[in-house]
């Protein structure tokens, strides 16, 4: 029963995102206070990732390191560069510019693995790229943020580094330790983890939408345009460069999805802790957008 519920929660993920966004708009005053819990909720998602990481996932790094290295490099090269270019083209105000760049500098989202499966892509490669980019994120993400957004920043590198370590690295390490020490328990718990992740991500989206309802309404059209452009160009450039580097079709699809789908929850968390509420808006909108575009792209590729 629990497995069926988890499968249902995963398959209907997009519906829950819609519901969460609508609830955020309808009850902003009630949900805005939840904004302070965003780092904790993201920590729960990362803990789940740590509990499900399998040592076999990393075998691919040694078996076919070229594909994994290409995927990770493209992940951290394309999206931050695209974010900076888009910010400059649209001349966004500082808070929104920081928010867009935060999204671009984050690692791949965990839902990208599900999309790779649905797209009939190389799921093992997708999981390896997500795992490696997420483990590198505590060091690479703050560095990229400073590289691309230093003209708008007034936060120390160390404080941002520590935030990413707390929200990403420590929960993943804890999850791996729990998996090693309590294999049977974590195996049973893993059946409920997709449900917990969907609930946590839905609460993050509802809290951010509720807390930023006014800002979203004021900048809605522009932010949606910027985020959709960022997301779609990520897919296109990820696939095009993977094709240029002679990866096979399944690998190209996996890399494209990894590049286009970001851990926007981390961007929201960093914006909430270190910047203004307006800086969290691009991350919230990206969460909504890539959970629509991802399934559409996956369905298109699966049919072909």
What pLDDT tens digit does each residue of the chain (304 aa) get? 666 776 777 667 677 777 887 888 888 777 767 767 777 777 777 777 777 776 666 676 777 788 899 999 999 999 999 999 999 999 888 888 998 999 999 888 777 877 888 888 888 888 888 888 888 888 898 889 888 888 777 767 788 788 888 878 888 888 888 887 877 777 766 666 667 777 777 777 787 777 777 777 776 788 889 999 999 999 999 999 999 998 989 899 999 999 999 888 788 878 877 887 778 888 878 877 887 888 888 888 887 7
Query: Within 10 Å of residue 147's Cβ, how many Cβ atoms?
Result: 12
Q: Give the per-residue pLDDT at 128.
A: 86
What confidence score (pLDDT) does residue 190 get? 66
Q: Looking at residue 79, what is its pLDDT?
A: 94
Q: In sequence order, which residues have a C-beta less than 8 Å from that of residue 125 and are 6 or more positions away? A: 60, 64, 67, 68, 71, 116, 250, 251, 254, 255
Domain containing residue 169: CATH number: 1.20.1530.20
Give the angle subtended at the CA of 205 by the CAs of 201 and 207, to the nearest 5°: 115
SS3 for 67-120 is HHHHHHHHHHHHHHHHHHHHHHHHCCCHHHHHHHHHHHHCCECCHHHHHHHHCC
Q: What span, in angstroms and rounded, lies between the C-alpha atoms of 119 and 235?
A: 13
Is residue 23 included in any domain, yes or no? Answer: no
Q: What is the pLDDT of residue 85?
A: 95
**6 domain-assigned:** no
Domain that holds residue 260: 36-303
CA distance 276 to 5: 37
pLDDT value of residue 160: 78
Residue 7 in any domain: the answer is: no
Query: How many domains are there within the chain?
Result: 1
Q: Is residue 13 part of a domain?
A: no
Residue 45 lies in a domain: yes
Q: How many helices (H) and strands (E) does the chain have?
A: 17, 0
The reported pLDDT for the residue numbered 201 is 74
Q: Give the pLDDT score at 295.
A: 81
| Residue 5 falls inside a structural domain | no
Predicted structure pTM score:
0.82
| 18 domain residue, yes or no | no
Query: Is residue 299 assigned to a domain?
Result: yes
Choose among 172, 130, 211: nearest CA to 45: 172
């Amino acid at each position: 029963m629990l497995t069926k519920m988890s499968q249902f929660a995963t398959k209907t993920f997009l519906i829950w995102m819609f519901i969460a966004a609508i609830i955020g708009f309808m009850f902003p005053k009630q949900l805005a206070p939840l904004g302070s819990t965003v780092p904790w909720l993201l920590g729960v998602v990362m803990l789940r990732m740590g509990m499900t990481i399998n040592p076999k996932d990393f075998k691919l790094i040694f078996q076919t390191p070229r594909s994994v290295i290409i995927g990770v490099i493209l992940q951290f090269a394309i999206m931050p560069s695209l974010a900076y270019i888009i910010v400059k083209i649209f001349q966004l105000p500082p808070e929104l510019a920081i928010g867009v760049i935060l999204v671009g500098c984050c690692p791949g989202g965990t839902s990208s693995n599900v999309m790779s499966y649905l797209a009939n892509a190389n799921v093992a490669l997708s999981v390896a790229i997500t795992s490696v980019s997420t483990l590198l994120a505590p060091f690479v993400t703050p560095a990229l943020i400073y590289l691309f957004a230093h003209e708008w920043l007034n936060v120390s590198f160390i404080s941002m580094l520590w935030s990413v370590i707390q929200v990403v690295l420590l929960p993943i390490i804890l999850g791996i330790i729990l998996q090693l020490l309590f294999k049977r328990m974590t195996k049973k718990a893993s059946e409920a983890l997709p449900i917990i992740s969907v609930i946590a991500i839905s609460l993050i989206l509802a809290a951010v939408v509720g807390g930023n309802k006014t800002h979203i309404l004021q900048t809605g059209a522009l932010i949606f345009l910027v985020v959709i452009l960022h997301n779609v160009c990520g897919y296109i450039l990820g696939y095009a460069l993977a094709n240029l580097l002679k990866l096979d079709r399944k690998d190209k699809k996996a890399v494209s999805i990894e590049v286009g789908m970001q851990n926007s929850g981390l961007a929201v968390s960093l914006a909430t802790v270190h910047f203004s509420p307006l800086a969290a808006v691009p991350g919230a909108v990206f969460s909504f957008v890539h959970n629509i575009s991802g399934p559409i792209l996956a369905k298109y590729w699966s049919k072909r």
